[in-house]
Each structure stands twice: as structure tokens, then as C-alpha cells.
Copies of this chain bind each other. A is one copy, B any other.
Amino acid sequence: MIKTTILRSKKPRLKNPILIEGLPGVGHVGKLVAEHMVDELGAKKIMEIYSPHLPPQVIVLEDGTTRLVRNELYAYKSKKGKNDILILVGDHQSTTNEGHYELTGVFLDIAEEFKVERIYALGGYGVGQLVETETVLGAANNIKLVKELKGYGVEFRPNEPGGGIVGASGLLLGLGELRGIDAACLMGVTSGYLVDPKSAQAVLKVLCKILEIEVDMAALEERASEMEKIVAKLREMEQGQMPASTDEDLRYIG
């Protein structure tokens, strides 16, 4: 395999579809939200995307079978909302810079194929310390979209994130603009050290309002309260006599 390859099942007819991207990233916020939506909405998988720009790796499943790392596209036909939804999830993002450009190009080809006119790229914004608030930071590839999102409580801070937005989320906005596709990034503010289902909840709440859909959050709430117990324990330990390496260890929890 020397090119990115798409395996398709039957192509659904979708009504004004909106594309949600939730590939792995900071605090796995985007991934948590997107996978939760796939589960709760019962979205159907319509594409598998394999690529030499993903790691050369299979994942071992619970029954001992394997599957090649990939990105997946799910479709959800909305019963009452005005937009059907496409959801992009995956095991990994590209391992190289050039690969990010190529894969995002593929994602945008798909968006154009379905006449997607808006993309929400989901992610986390790591601030380097444990976070109490439920802030969702936004950025968008045009000013009209910025204004609209402010109406949903999305926060916009000048020049933030200072390091820009990297990877698939960033390029969906950047390359999307070049193709005339509206795209916004919704970033749950998070420590960056832990998988953060609470921040994911915050992002999902905003997204549900925007999309005019309802998604049961019980599963995500449960994961969030489990994680809160871990965080509480960590705080205790910090106030005790933990060595300086604590923060680094946290990265591996989740």
C-alpha cells in the first residue's frame, strides 16, 4: 500500500450534512466526543480510510483478532434536525507533516463528495494544569462563523491557542478555507495530561445545541466521574510528598 485507500460501503443520501472530526489529540477530547456520538446516535460506518501515513500497526481486539489502524467515517440520518451528520474518528493521525496534508485533503474530498458545507473539528486545548471550568474555546475559518458560535457560548480569545492549531483539526480549517468550506474548531480546555471526559462533555453540550440534537451523556458522565476520583487522588498526593515527576506520570493514565 503506497497510497491512502478508502473502503466504502453503500453511499447514503444525506440531507445538508455536517462533518464532525474527532481524531485523537490533546486529552483525547475530540475522540471522546466523536466516539460517544457514534455510539449514542447509532451512526452507521460508511467508510474505512487506510493510509501509509498512519503507523504501521494493527490493534489487538478483545477476542484476539486484529485490525489495521485506520480512520473511519460514520453517517447519522437525523430524524428531526435539519442536518444529517458525518462523524470522522480514528485510531491515529498521520505520523508525518506531509501525511497530514495528504490525509486532510482526502477528508475534504469526502466532504465535497457529500456536499458538506460545514465542518466542526473537535479537540482539546491543553493549559498545563488541572482545570475546573467547562470552557470551550473556538476558532473558525471565517468571521461569520466566529460570531455565530459566540452565540452558543463558545469562547474566542485573541491569538489563542498561541501555538496555532496543528494536525487534522488545523488543516480542516486551513485547507477547508481554500476550498470554500466553512469550518470551526471547538476545543475543550483541559490539562493536557489526562484523558478528559469532563472536558469532552462540555464540548458535546455545545455541539448538541449547535446541531439541535440530543445525545444521552450518561456514559460520558460516568467516565468523567471516574476520572474525577483519580484526579482527586492525584491532588491529595500532590499535597502530600509526591516526587516532582508526578505530572509526567499522569500522561499515561486514561
Which one of A13-21, A169-177, A238-246 is at the B interface?
Answer: A169-177
Counting from the closest, the 3 A-B pairs by CB-CB distance are: A68-B174, A64-B156, A56-B100
Copies in the complex: 4
Q: Which residues of B contact A138 (CB under 8 A)?
A: 64
Q: Which residues of B contact A100 (CB under 8 A)?
A: 52, 56
How many chain A residues touch the partner (CB < 8 A)? 60
Contact with B along A76-110 (1 / 0, CB 8 A): 00000000000000000011111011101100000
Decide if A225 is an interface residue (CB 8 Å cutoff).
no
| Contact between B97 and A140, CB atoms less than 8 A apart | no
Q: Which residues of B contact A226 (CB under 8 A)?
A: none
Task: Give the docked Cα–Cα distance between A184 and B142 (Å).
Answer: 39
Given A140-B66, A165-B66, does the pair A58, B174 have CB atoms closer than 8 Å? yes
Kindly name the residue among A98, A167, A168, A178 whose own CB sees the greatest number of chain B CB atoms within 10 A: A98
Shortest A163–chain B CB gap in Å is 8
| Contact between B166 and A55, CB atoms less than 8 A apart | yes
Shortest A21–chain B CB gap in Å is 14
Shortest A184–chain B CB gap in Å is 9
Between-chain CB contacts (< 8 Å), 18 pairs? A1-B105, A2-B102, A5-B178, A52-B97, A54-B97, A56-B94, A56-B170, A57-B164, A57-B170, A59-B164, A63-B146, A64-B138, A64-B157, A65-B143, A66-B164, A68-B177, A95-B97, A96-B97
Q: Which residues of B contact A160 (CB under 8 A)?
A: 60
Task: Give the docked Cα–Cα distance between A67 and B140 (Å).
Answer: 9
Given A55-B97, A56-B166, A164-B59, does the pair A65, B175 have CB atoms closer than 8 Å? no
| Contact between A105 and B158, CB atoms less than 8 A apart | no
